[in-house]
Amino acid sequence: MSILEIRDLHATVETPEGTKEILKGVDLTIRSGETHAIMGPNGSGKSTLAYSIAGHPKYEITSGSVMLDGEDVLEMSVDERARAGMFLAMQYPVEVPGVTVSNFLRTAKTAVSGEAPKLRTWVKDVKDAMDNLRMDHAFAERNVNEGFSGGEKKRHEILQMELLKPKIAILDETDSGLDVDALRIVSEGVNRAKADTNVGIMLITHYTRILKYIKPDFVHVFVNGKVAEQGGPELAARLEEEGYDRFLAK
């Protein structure tokens, strides 16, 4: 059982107009096997929360704490956070020219596990995971995300999640840019990873369509840099009907 505890988290970013506070006291607890949907309007700070936890240098944590199984995440480097069991699926996955998908995945697995996976078993695991995500095996020899479509990039993110088996996975708008079929396949991959490893999931999204496939245990409405309301799946249904106007009016 793992637990990610975020307490009174504040973070700033530098803008042309000066320092701007984005996170304004975030409190959130995610345990193994739980799926938390983070929903909110554009500019509310959802992605800032994801990248701050992951250690993006653009964002400065000014106060608060992030603990993973009692360890201080904010004292860890980015790679230490990954080795501790944190995973971030980016909204806009980057291209890595000159590094093949197969080399990237095996290097990442070795770094996270502390030892290289046995090659024969690893190749089978990769192929099986690619088959489940409807990915052509030829993608393994292509450079990371280079020339990939939006849907292919998102499938590759979930491929990483399935193979690296993190304790806590942060999925930043994984549904953006996906057609209906890709959304279903990617969602099935997330559900499969959760069933296999009991990973705790923070799912950041604007829309409820992905929640038809990935059922949240908790829904948090994120407005103006903090959680404005929280509840169960019924809260997502209410947001679908009413939008965020009542929160923005406050």
Q: At what angle do helices 150-164 and 101-113 cross, to 10 degrees?
A: 30
Residues 6+ apart with CB under 8 A from 243: none
- pLDDT of 1-51, one tens digit each? 999 999 999 999 999 999 999 999 999 999 999 999 999 988 899 999 999
Q: Are 211 and 188 in contact (CB under 8 A)?
A: no
pLDDT level of residue 250 (50, 70, 90 thresholds): low
Check pLDDT > 80 for residue 237: yes
The span from the CA of 136 to the CA of 157, in Å, is 15
Check pLDDT > 90 for residue 207: no
Q: pLDDT value at position 104?
A: 96
- pLDDT of 107-151, one tens digit each? 999 999 999 999 989 999 999 999 999 999 999 999 999 999 999
Q: Are 230 and 218 in contact (CB under 8 A)?
A: yes
- pLDDT of 58-115, one tens digit each? 999 999 999 999 999 999 999 999 999 999 999 889 999 999 999 999 999 999 999 9
% of the chain with per-residue pLDDT over 70: 99
For residue 209, the Cα-to-chain-centroid distance in whole angstroms is 17
